[in-house]
Amino acid sequence: MTSLAALAPATHPGAVHLTVTDLDRSIGFYQDSLGLRVHDRDVSTAAMGTGGPDLVVLTEEPGARPAGRHSGLYHFALLHPNRAELASAVQRLVATRTPIQGASDHGVSEAIYLPDPDGNGIELYADRPRDAWGVDPNGEIDMFVAPLDVEDLLTAAAGPTPSQHSDPGLVLGHMHLHVGDVDEAVRFYRDVIGFDVMASLPGASFVSAGGYHHHLGLNNWQGQGVPPAPPGTVGLRHWTLMLDGPEELRRVRARLEAAGVSQEERPEGVAVRDPAGNELVLTTAVTE
């Protein structure tokens, strides 16, 4: 379903901010298993990526409890620029003996799922060309879950061993969040933020800007009506949405104000919470 206040096609997720319990351990994982590099670090925080914009920002809370049955992060998804780079990422996981949780063919993409050392969910994926995406009987993008042919994927690798670092073209492709009420979350992200609804699965909806299969997934798989994550919990601190310039940000802020959604000014943008309590920071690549 198309939003009445659709976001510009250039809209995309920015950095995801996570709580971890051991910063050194997490940095080692993101470097060795995922091929990221440290962009900046202080005593309790590390920003990581591939040399361009930050992709993942880790904040240490040694006493943080494990995530439970509440809203919050299901996974964040790192989009590889092509199938060969995803194959190299799989080689890296094999070389570092990093456990995975699953491997799926979604029709629109091929994906590998794994946890970080604190259980924060991660998806590594590569898209198929848009002209190969199917449409289901409801007119939505046909996204499904089928087993991934990992052996066939590995034939796309550039060589027998992975590169040490992920390709600079790696980006934060989408977020997927647990919420207490999918319909309520869709109303917020469609009618207030401005995403379009692109696809649905049982207990989940997927929304995006610019016709992408999804920039954001929303599910109630932790249970209908689950509460927000309690303070001091491992997982999502906030995620970032990069809007197409200051005027787009003003339009979104006006819709938030009209909907009675509280907004908090931050140096990096404007922070809001969705109905499930997940925090989103709205920002732009262009500053005024």
Q: How does pLDDT run across 8-30, given as a tens digit for each residue?
A: 999 999 999 999 999 999 999 99
Tokens found for residue 59: 């904040």
Q: What is the pLDDT of residue 187?
A: 98
Q: Which residues pair with 265 in a beta bridge?
A: 270
> Is residue 90 classed as helix, strand or coil in its secondary structure?
helix
- The β-bridge relationship of strands 171-178 and 216-219 is parallel
Q: What is the DSSP string of 31-74?
A: HHTT--EEEEE-SSEEEEESSSS--EEEEE-TTPBPP-SSSEEE
Q: Which residues of the chain have pLDDT under 50?
A: 287-288
Q: What is the pLDDT of residue 5?
A: 77
Q: What is the pLDDT of residue 8?
A: 95
Q: Which residues pair with 18 in a beta bridge?
A: 58, 236
Q: What is the pLDDT of residue 69?
A: 97
The answer to whether the pTM exceeds 0.75 is yes
End-to-end CA distance of the chain: 32
Cα gap 208→280, rounded to integer Å: 15
12-284 has which CATH code?
A: 3.10.180.10
Q: What is the pLDDT of residue 287?
A: 41
- The β-bridge relationship of strands 269-273 and 264-266 is antiparallel
How many of the other CB atoms lie within 10 Å of CB of 260?
7
Would you state the torsion angle of the CA atoms of residues 11, 49, 124, 130, taken in this order, to the nearest 10 degrees?
30
How many of the other CB atoms lie within 10 Å of CB of 35?
22
Q: What is the pLDDT of residue 1?
A: 57
Q: What is the DSSP string of 250-276?
A: HHHHHHHHHTT---EEETTEEEEE-TT
Residues 6+ apart with CB under 8 A from 202: none
Alpha carbon distances (Å) from 247 to 22, 185, 193: 40, 24, 14
Query: Domain boundaries in the chain?
Result: 12-284
- Over the stretch 209-248, which tens digit does the pLDDT of each residue have? 999 999 999 999 999 999 999 999 999 999 999 999 999 9
Specify whether the CB–CB gap between 43 and 139 falls below 8 A.
no
Could you give phi then psi for residue 105, rounded to 5 degrees?
-100, 120
Cα gap 149→206, rounded to integer Å: 24
Helices (H) and strands (E) counted in the chain, each on its own, are 5, 17
DSSP conformation class of 132: G
